[in-house]
Amino acid sequence: MDNKISAEEMKNEGETTVKESGIESHPYAFHVSGPRNVPSPNWKDLINSSWRKDANYKRTVMACFIQAVYLLELDRQENRTEQNALAPKWWIPFRYKLVETLKDERDGSIFGAILEWDRSAALADFVLIRPSGAPRAVLALRGTILKSQTMRRDIEDDLRFLAWESLKRSVRFSGVLKALKAIADKYGSNNVCIAGHSLGAGFALQVGKALAKEGIYVEAHLFNPPSVSLAMSFRNIGEKAGFAWKRIKAMLPSKSDSQISCEERGATSFPVGLKQWVPHLYINNSDYICCSYTYADGAQNDQAAANKENAKPTNCSQAAAKLFLSSKGNQKFLEAHGLEQWWSDNLELQMAISNSKLVSQQLKSLYTMPAAQLTPVKR
């Protein structure tokens, strides 16, 4: 009997093995399209934590967790089993585990997931305690998936934001708010993060803001958050008219005490010692969905100029966020809006100014709330 195997037979056998494994050659497999040169937690992190020392590491992990949520839904749609599922490979290397999925009651699709630090897996690698800076739990939210099973509900929420710049009436909003509040109560807000991409970043921003109003400050990482809406366009037109009228009024004679402060308008800035909520926004200028976040706040500049002219500075607090801009130059939309850019090895980021006009519009209610509504910080 001839034991020799032809090259063609070996090739066919190899192709069969790949097809059977399924995950090995899939373009979304972690080893195919995931980050390179990202170390798993080890005993050295007890001394010098990557979570605390390396901002790029945290950004990479958060982006990978969001990718896992995309793949949880794709695994569900394509009926993958535990043996060939793609999603787990995107959290296991970082020693986290899946504890809950958030499902849209309208179509059963998975749009979010809660991942917790996996102490058992960490101990197997001799990581005795959770590295400094690593959150106990992360709530990750995906964006739109243009597939038949999810497209209708995803686009429905996209249009909701486009029309109203608000997602509060979506069934997903209440689910995310409930889930985030639960893990913040369980572990403490300082030990919890929320992360989202595209539509998911829109939910993360608005839910994080809702909790901040209650004094619960959760670290937020928002990738390519939506910034374009009809409501914003109409508001900008109204604001420009309002600024013009204020400049005209400033030129007219007025009493010395006629200037109205924030407090006199029935609003107040946060008292000294009350913490601000400062989300992290990751923006690509070539992405028309999120690029509006890079526009400086002209209202603040006009106000600063008016204050300088009148020599009467105000004490109104300003909303703030950490904006990180991708500096690759002009890119095609799909590349500029893609999640994978945020774990790329050659990514170059620039820290942007925090006085974004859109950030000020979206977060100003946190810092101009009536005194009776201010809630002490909860930890």
Would you state the pLDDT for residue 366?
75
Do 67 and 86 meet the contact criterion of CB atoms below 8 Å apart?
no
d(CA 125, CA 42) in angstroms, rounded, equals 6
Do 205 and 319 meet the contact criterion of CB atoms below 8 Å apart?
no
Would you state the pLDDT for residue 370?
55
pLDDT band of residue 293 (cuts 50, 70, 90) is: confident
pLDDT band of residue 15 (cuts 50, 70, 90) is: very low
Per-residue tokens: 116:
């917790």
Do 201 and 225 meet the contact criterion of CB atoms below 8 Å apart?
yes
Would you state the pLDDT for residue 128?
84
* Per-position DSSP letters for 289-331, written without gaps between them: TTGGGGSB-HHHHHHHHHHHHHT----------EEEEE-S-S-
Per-residue tokens: 295:
């526009």
Do 149 and 80 meet the contact criterion of CB atoms below 8 Å apart?
no
Would you state the pLDDT for residue 201?
97
Q: In angstroms, how far is CA 30 from the centroid of its own chain? A: 21
Would you state the pLDDT for residue 148?
87
Mean pLDDT of the chain: 79
Checking if the pLDDT of 353 tops 90, the result is no
Checking if the pLDDT of 302 tops 70, the result is no
d(CA 342, CA 64) in angstroms, rounded, equals 9
d(CA 190, CA 177) in angstroms, rounded, equals 17
Angle between helices 230-251 and 298-310 (to 10 degrees): 10
d(CA 220, CA 306) in angstroms, rounded, equals 34
Q: Greater confidence, 97 or 229?
A: 97
Do 231 and 292 meet the contact criterion of CB atoms below 8 Å apart?
no
Do 194 and 187 meet the contact criterion of CB atoms below 8 Å apart?
no
Do 176 and 139 meet the contact criterion of CB atoms below 8 Å apart?
yes
Would you state the pLDDT for residue 12?
47
Would you state the pLDDT for residue 67?
98
d(CA 335, CA 358) in angstroms, rounded, equals 23
Q: Within 13 Å of residue 247, how many CA atoms lie on the same side as its CB?
A: 12
Q: Greater confidence, 201 or 292?
A: 201
Q: Using one digit for the tens of pLDDT, what is the confidence trace for 227-278?
A: 875 445 434 444 444 555 455 556 555 544 444 444 444 444 444 445 689 9
Burial class (CB in 10 A: 0-12, 13-18, 19+), 314: middle
d(CA 68, CA 140) in angstroms, rounded, equals 9
Q: Using one digit for the tens of pLDDT, what is the confidence trace for 125-179?
A: 888 888 889 999 999 999 999 998 899 999 999 999 988 888 999 999 999 999 9
Q: Greater confidence, 365 or 337?
A: 337
d(CA 91, CA 252) in angstroms, rounded, equals 62
Checking if the pLDDT of 313 tops 60, the result is no
Checking if the pLDDT of 328 tops 80, the result is no
Would you state the pLDDT for residue 251?
56
